Amino acid sequence: MKREPQPLLERRLAALARRWSRPLLAWYDRSRRDLPWRRNRDPYAVWIAEIMLQQTQVKTVEPYYRKFLRRFPEVKSLARAPLEEVLKQWAGLGYYRRAELLHAAARMIVADFGSELPQTSADLVRLPGVGRYTAAAIASIAFNEAKAVLDGNVIRVLCRLLEVAEDPARPAVRKNLWDVAQRLVPPHRPGDYNQAMMELGATICTPANPACAACPVRKLCLAYQAGEPSRLPRTSRKPEPAKMRRLVLVLARGDRVLLLKRPGRGLWAGLWEFPAFAPFARADERSRLAEALGERLGLRIELAKRKKRVKHRLTHRAVWCEVVQGRCRPGRRDRVLLPPCDQGIYQASRWIKPSRLRELPVSALTRKIAEATGNQAAKPGGSRA
């Protein structure tokens, strides 16, 4: 916090608690975005939205949210579904561990809470995949519990409001921000208040070039009064994403391509993908590469001459894929061996028509590779490898 004598800081927070929420809520009532999860306060729908919105942009979540609720309209249907079906509906949204935990939480809700979502943040935080922020968001929006939320948007608003000069990633600073956030939550309309705080950070109090002239609470903001809100919060520089290099094989047998199922833990857990390996030494020698890949899969393989390069960005990784295409030699119907992958051993194999790829839970990267390779088998020496 800005270094003020404790009694002065206490008086300032008490004054803010009285003056802050009314103009903020009035602005939210007239200016909030029309988002599908704001059209009702059904606890199940609120929970689904909050899990999907974790580290994911609103515009990305909207179509997935609608599709997911059509397929799983209530917690019993989600709990009954096999995990693979849940992953299929989640495919493309990323952070697939969220879907696994969501499924586990649905089963816990049915088994331990009589198919009704817990109504307090203390009980909600017991659910798999629900932390302090998510529990507070659900409890305040769906059940009117006066609990504060603290996400990136709220942190930015509070750092500017109180002119916090320290890095909010530091545990002591983060704890103080949680305490301040809780002090400012009004007892009436806490769910709308929390959403207003997030809305303010997302649309007005943005990281760069905040629209202070349109801010309903700028007169209370210390950073605005100082004339330089953009300098806050002061965060440490994020490290460059780690590079992950993969050799990916798009292998055809007739009109079908080979997919392997990843282990049920780690990156892309439980999803299907084209066989992927660590880059091979001397991978430029096509015959030796075909032999090495064939040994891994228990197949006789011919490779196309040309390769594709596909790049994909994750939050903490930059994935660089060298994609080769090939086909099984005629007359062989070998049983596919399950090779190692970066998270253990592949769990299953399947030959599938490319047009049916959407029927399996696959990642955005796998779809990108399918698109880059034309969704069809390349003949050795062919043109689309």
Rg (CA), the chain: 25
**pLDDT of res. 382:** 33
3-state secondary structure of 318: strand
Residue 50 annotated in active site: yes
- Between CA 180 and CA 303 the distance in angstroms is 61
Catalytic residue among 4, 50, 100, 371: 50
> What's phi and psi for 328, nearest 5 deg?
-75, 145
Q: Inform me whether the pLDDT recorded for 8 exceeds 70.
A: no
Backbone region of residue 321 per phi and psi (left: phi > 0; alpha: psi in -120 to 50; beta: other values): beta
Give, in order, the Cα–Cα distances in Å from 210 to each of 156, 219, 232, 236.
Answer: 11, 14, 11, 20
In contact, 294 and 301? CB cutoff 8 Å: yes
Calculate the CA 351 to chain-centre distance: 29
- What dihedral do alpha carbons 340, 342, 348, 350 form, nearest 10°? -100
pLDDT number for residue 332? 56
Among residues 121, 119, 52, 128, the alpha carbon closest in space to that of 92 is found at: 52
Tens digits of per-residue pLDDT, 149-201?
A: 999 999 999 999 998 889 999 999 999 999 999 999 999 999 999 999 999 99
CATH number of this structure's domain 242-372: 3.90.79.10
CA distance 160 to 201: 11
Q: How far apart are CA 29 and CA 297, in angstroms?
A: 59
Query: Can you read off the two tokens belonging to residue 354?
Result: 């490319």
Cβ within 8 Å of residue 281, ≥6 positions away? none
Q: Confidence class of residue 7 from pLDDT cuts 50, 70 and 90?
A: low
Q: What pLDDT sits at residue 274?
A: 97
Q: Which residue has the higher pLDDT, 268 or 107?
A: 107
For all residues of the chain together, what is the average pLDDT?
89
Q: Above 50 in pLDDT, residue 118? A: yes
Q: What band does 384 get if pLDDT is binned at 50, 70 and 90?
A: very low
Q: Of residues 144 and 236, which shows the higher confidence score?
A: 144
Q: Which CATH superfamily hosts domain 6-231?
A: Hypothetical protein; domain 2 (1.10.340.30)
Q: 233 preceded by cis ω (within 30°)?
A: yes
Sorted by where each begins, the domain ranges of the chain are 6-231, 242-372
Closest to 233 in 3D by CA, of 170, 309, 186: 170
* Of 136, 149, 132, 141, nearest in space to 189 by CA: 141
pTM of the model: 0.80
Mean pLDDT, range 339-365, rounded to an integer: 91
Q: What percent of the chain has pLDDT over 70?
A: 92
Distances 256 to 362, 364, 365 between C-alpha atoms, Å: 16, 20, 19
How far apart are alpha carbons 22 and 187 in whole angstroms? 12
Which of the two residues, 113 and 9, has the higher pLDDT score?
Answer: 113
